[in-house]
């Protein structure tokens, strides 16, 4: 809808008709943005003053002095001028560290870095299109901007779109409305960043009564069966995952229901485009893994009930930064010092207690050996034009380098090889560096 004035937009937002994820646009933006990014702050909302009326816009508030809009040209120049920064101290990394092999100290904090730069770091970022004005009478016009020339129809609804409204996704052209509708209904999996794991929830409903309070199974068992069946009609995880949990939840739920009735009177694997890479990072609240697809990497984090996805397309990866750490030494000491203490106690004691102490010493020593065999630790980050993201699954230097060697060919196939002149001048435009 639109165009509408800023006061009307604020009223629609207050009434809930416009949400934070609603796509909006106004003059000055290179592309459609979500309302939560461009909305005015309530604390700085300007009072009504005499003067020129608010300029009309297409579904978003006009730019006012109290709410500065992003400087698109300046932001583009800033992105083109950015370089790789140390992930520990944020110091810019000089081109002398852009070495494909070995590590070099950071000039700011002396952390050992291994930086593998790719052509996307030096590529000129294209500016957004605003659409061409119709010059010939009778020429096809945009459905949302009648004064703009149509360049392509929407692949879903067939409406004519100008260059501004055209959103290209997987070789298809979508209008903002179809894009927003498909994202909300879960039809555009490329835009998803979270999915509910109903099979895990159903299985937990069948196991929780056995652990906590079994009489509630008369309620949780039927709910688990219904939830497990319901999970079949919902989109499954985009990662390799079997339906084993759903079948197990149905089996346990049916057994519990049968048990209550008597008291009163494996899995098929989904086809997935992803292949899991070595390494796994975990905390008390979630675990993360890295997956490889044909044209991107996927980082998946799960707490057991939901999964969060982040995608890094090979054509957009600017650099992969591996920083060596000393956590392997720390964990070796954590295992070795108790083992040394138990060994000293075993030498000073005899009898059965000494045997138990020697068993504990052997187990702790085994932990030291395993830690040393895994090699040095590291922290790995991946950099694109808009973010530098940590890869928590890559915690060992040997694993990180092996994965880097594996995906390097994929990145070069998408971007082309890194030319020496590009590495020598990372801040110059792509036309001069590549």
- Lowest-pLDDT range, 118-132, 163-177, 370-384? 118-132
pLDDT of 107 > 80? The answer is: yes
The whole-angstrom separation of Cα 303 and Cα 301 is: 7
**pLDDT computed for residue 126 by the predictor:** 60
Contact 149, 156 (CB under 8 A): no
Contact call for residues 282 and 302 (beta carbons, < 8 A): no
290 pLDDT more than 90? yes
pLDDT value, residue 317: 92
What pLDDT shows up at residue 304? 82
- Cα distances (angstroms) measured from residue 264 to each of 205, 214, 254, 259, 346: 22, 15, 15, 9, 58
Output the pLDDT for position 51. Answer: 41
Residue 44 has pLDDT above 60, yes or no: no
Residue 421 pLDDT > 50, yes or no? Answer: yes
Give me the phi and psi of 25, to 5 degrees please: -155, 150
Structure tokens at 139: 């020429």
Backbone angles phi, psi at 104, to 5 degrees: -145, 150
What is the spatial distance between Cα 135 and Cα 161, in angstroms, rounded to a whole number?
16
Local confidence band at 50 (pLDDT 50, 70, 90 cut-offs): very low
Average pLDDT over residues 330-348: 89
For residue 313, give the H/E element and its range: strand 306-313
The predicted model gives 310-331 an average pLDDT of: 92
pLDDT of 20 > 90? The answer is no
Helix residue ranges per DSSP H, 31-121: 35-38, 72-81
pLDDT for the residue 337: 92
Task: List all residues 6 or more positions away from 153 whose beta carbon is below 8 Å from its beta carbon.
Answer: 159, 160, 161, 173
391-412 tens-digit pLDDT: 999 999 999 999 998 999 999 8
Q: Which residues, 6 or more positions from 325, have their beta carbon under 8 angstroms from its beta carbon?
A: 376, 377, 378, 379
pLDDT tens for each residue of 139-172: 788 888 888 888 889 988 888 888 888 888 777 8
pLDDT tens digits for range 221-234: 999 999 999 888 88
**Domain range annotation of the chain:** 1-70, 198-264
- C-alpha distances in angstroms, 79 versus 15, 121, 187, 427? 37, 9, 32, 10
pLDDT at 125: 63
Element spanning 221, H or E: helix 217-232
CB 26 within 8 A of CB 57: yes
- Assess whether pLDDT exceeds 50 at residue 52: no
pLDDT for 73 equals 37
Q: Is the pLDDT of residue 53 over 80?
A: no
Q: How many CA atoms lie within 13 A of 237 on its CB side?
A: 25
Task: Give φ, ψ of 65 to 5 degrees.
Answer: -60, -30
Tell me whether the omega of the peptide bond preceding residue 45 falls within 30 degrees of 0, making it cis: no
| pLDDT score for 82 | 63
| Percentage of the residues of the chain whose pLDDT score is greater than 90 | 22
Which regions of 354-395 does DSSP assign to beta strands (E)? 377-383, 388-390
Name residues whose C-beta falls within 8 Å of residue 428's C-beta, 6 or more positions apart in sequence.
122
Instruction: Give the residue from 52, 48, 26, 51 showing the smallest Cα distance to 39.
Output: 26
**CA-to-CA distance for 24 and 41, rounded, in angstroms?**
16
**Quick check: helix, strand or coil at residue 160?**
strand
Distance, in Å, from the CA atom of 126 to the CA atom of 100, rounded to the nearest integer, reads: 28
Write down the pLDDT at residue 70: 39
Binning pLDDT at 50, 70 and 90, where does residue 59 land? very low
**Residue environment code for 60-94, b if the CB has 16+ CB neighbours within 10 A, otherwise e:** bbbbeeebeeeeeeeebeeebebbbbbbbeeeebe
pLDDT value of position 325 = 92
Mean pLDDT within 344-363: 84
| Residues 120 and 415: beta-carbon distance below 8 Å | yes
Q: Taking the complete model, does pTM exceed 0.75, yes or no?
A: no
Angle, helices 217-232 vs 244-264, to 10°: value is 150
Mean pLDDT, the chain, integer: 78
């Amino acid at each position: 809808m639109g165009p509408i004035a800023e006061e009307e937009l604020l009223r629609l937002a207050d009434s809930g008709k416009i949400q934070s994820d609603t796509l909006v646009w106004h003059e000055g933006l290179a592309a459609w943005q979500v309302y939560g990014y461009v909305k005015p702050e309530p604390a700085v909302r300007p009072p009504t003053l005499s003067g020129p009326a608010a300029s009309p816009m297409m579904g978003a508030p006009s730019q006012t002095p109290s709410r500065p809009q992003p400087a698109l040209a300046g932001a583009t120049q800033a992105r083109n001028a950015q370089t790789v920064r140390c992930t520990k101290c944020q110091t810019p990394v000089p081109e002398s560290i852009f070495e494909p092999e070995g590590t070099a100290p950071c000039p700011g904090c002396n952390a050992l870095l291994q930086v593998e730069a790719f052509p996307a770091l030096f590529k000129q970022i294209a500016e957004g299109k605003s659409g061409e004005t119709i010059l010939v009478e009778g020429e096809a016009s945009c459905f949302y901007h009648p004064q703009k020339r149509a360049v392509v129809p929407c692949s879903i609804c067939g409406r004519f779109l100008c260059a501004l409204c055209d959103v290209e996704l997987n070789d298809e052209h979508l209008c903002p409305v179809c894009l927003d509708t498909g994202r909300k209904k879960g039809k555009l999996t490329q835009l998803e960043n979270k999915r509910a794991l109903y099979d895990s929830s159903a299985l937990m409903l069948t196991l929780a009564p056995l652990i906590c309070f079994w009489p509630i199974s008369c309620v949780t068992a039927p709910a688990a069966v219904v939830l497990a069946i319901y999970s079949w009609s919902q989109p499954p995880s985009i990662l390799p995952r079997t339906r084993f949990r759903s079948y197990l939840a149905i089996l346990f739920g049916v057994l519990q229901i049968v048990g209550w009735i008597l008291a009163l009177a494996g899995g098929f694997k989904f086809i997935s485009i992803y292949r899991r890479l070595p390494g796994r990072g975990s905390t008390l609240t979630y675990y993360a893994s890295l997956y490889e697809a044909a044209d991107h990497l996927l980082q998946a984090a799960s707490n057991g009930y939901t999964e969060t996805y982040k995608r890094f397309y090979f054509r957009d990866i600017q650099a992969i930064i591996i920083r060596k750490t000393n956590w392997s030494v720390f964990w070796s000491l954590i295992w070795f010092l108790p083992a040394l203490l138990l060994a000293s106690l075993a030498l000073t004691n005899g009898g059965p207690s000494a045997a138990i102490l020697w068993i504990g010493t052997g187990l702790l020593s085994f932990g030291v050996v395993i830690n040393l065999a895994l090699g040095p630790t590291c922290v790995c980050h991946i950099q694109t034009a808009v973010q530098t993201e940590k890869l928590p699954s890559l915690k060992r230097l040997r694993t990180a380098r092996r994965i880097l060697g594996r995906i390097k060919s994929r990145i070069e196939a998408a971007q082309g090889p890194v030319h020496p002149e590009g590495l020598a001048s990372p801040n110059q435009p792509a036309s001069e560096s590549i």
